[in-house]
Structure 1
Amino acid sequence: MESTELLEKKIAVIGAGLMGHAIAQLFAAKANAVSLFDSNQQVLESAPARIRSNFEILLDLGFVTRDQVESA
C-alpha cells in the first residue's frame, strides 16, 4: 500500500478521551475527514478545544505548519 492511499479517507474515532482526541488529531492533520464519537457529552464537547491546543503546541515546536493546522 502506498502512503498516498492513507490520505483523504473518512475516519471514525470512537472515544474522545485522552487517546481518542489525539488519534482524531493525527488523522485530521493528514487531511482526512474525521468524525469523533463519545458516550460522554462533556468529553466530546471538550475535544475540539483540546485538539486546537495540541495543534498550537505542535505548531510552536515546528512539528506542523499553519496550513496543516488550518486544514485540519
Structure 2
Amino acid sequence: MGFYYLLILFIGVVLLVVGTFKWMVSRSIKKVIFLLILGLLLIASSVFLLTPGSSDFIYNLMHKINEALIQKD
C-alpha cells in the first residue's frame, strides 16, 4: 500500500512541477491552475495516507457516514 501512496505523491509532484513551468503560458491558464490544484491535492492526500493512524481515521469516518446513511433511511 505504501508504494501506491508514494506513487500518488510522485504524480502530484510531477503535476505541480509541470504546472509551475507552464505558468507563463496565458492561453492555457485554466489547465495550469487545474494541474497545480490537482498536484497539491495528490500530494496532500498521499502525505495524509502515509501518516500513522490514517487508516483508523478513515475507518471511523466511513463508519460514521454509514451510520448516518442507515439512520436517514
TM-score range, shorter chain: 0.3 to 0.5
Scaled by the length of structure 2, the TM-score of the pair is: 0.34
Q: Which structure's residues are more often strand, by fraction?
A: 1
Larger RCO of the pair (alpha carbons < 8 Å, separation 6+): 2
Determine which structure has more spread, i.e. the larger CA radius of gyration: 2
| Structure with a larger share of its residues in helix | 2
Instruction: Give TM-score scaled by structure 1 length.
Output: 0.34
